[in-house]
Amino acid sequence: PTGTIAPFEFRIPGDISSAAFLLAAAVLADSGEIRLTDVGVNPTRDGILRIFERMGAVVKREHEREWLGEPVADLIAGPARIRACTVEASEIPSLIDEIPILAVLASRAEGTSTFHDVGELRVKESDRLSLIAKNLQSLGVNAVAEGDDLFVTGTDKPPRGKVITEGDHRIAMAFLVLARVKGARITIDNPECAEVSFPNFDETLSRLTSHRSRLT
């Protein structure tokens, strides 16, 4: 466009990719509820919420509104008994960055979850696809990466073992969430790398999971 763009004010919505990890922590908790305020829910990026619902974890939306045309809402989640699901290739573009936390959820779900066409994960900050499978395996979970697909079979056994992050923030964040599961004994080699996208993530997660009341 030509001409002059006038100055304007715009509040940046909360990142749904970061919100996904806290929502997952609430789903895997024994009790309590979490409310995340002012989260961006643009339909091109909210695929994670549809997968949560298919797994049996209802995430409520409240106070839906728009900020300069961008859809925003408060998201509320709590504990749920989750089941396996299949994520199709057509859904991946709207939730590629959330596959690590979805795989962690799948490791606690009933049945085997399938993630199709997630080969893009091999060229992220690390080979995330291989790391997700190998780390879940090291914790006693049946997880396999075959070609561009990922298969994860859930278990109710406490996850125990060592996680290698290779400095990937989303791998660290996903397994920090899993480390809060009752009975878990997980050692993460570099949890500090989560600071890249979510400063004080481990501290925030510890604060939330140590309180069972409604938190904002």
Active-site annotation, residues: 97
Q: For helices 99-106 and 169-178, what crossing angle results, to 10°?
A: 20
> How far apart are alpha carbons 129 and 208 in whole angstroms?
28
Residue 90 and residue 106: Cα distance in Å, rounded? 19
User: Does residue 157 contact residue 132 with C-beta atoms inside 8 Å?
Assistant: no
Q: Please report, for residues 48, 80, 91, the alpha-carbon distance to residue 97 in angstroms, rounded to integers and kept in the order given.
A: 10, 22, 12
CA distance 149 to 170: 19
Q: Can you give the C-alpha Rg of the chain in angstroms?
A: 17
User: Please, where are the H alpha helices in the chain?
Assistant: 16-28, 47-54, 99-106, 128-138, 169-178, 201-209
**DSSP calls for 43-92:** TTT-HHHHHHHHTT---EEEEEEEETTEEEEEEEE-----B--EE-GGGG
Which strand (E) or helix (H) includes residue 142? Answer: strand 142-146
Residue 210 in tokens: 């140590």
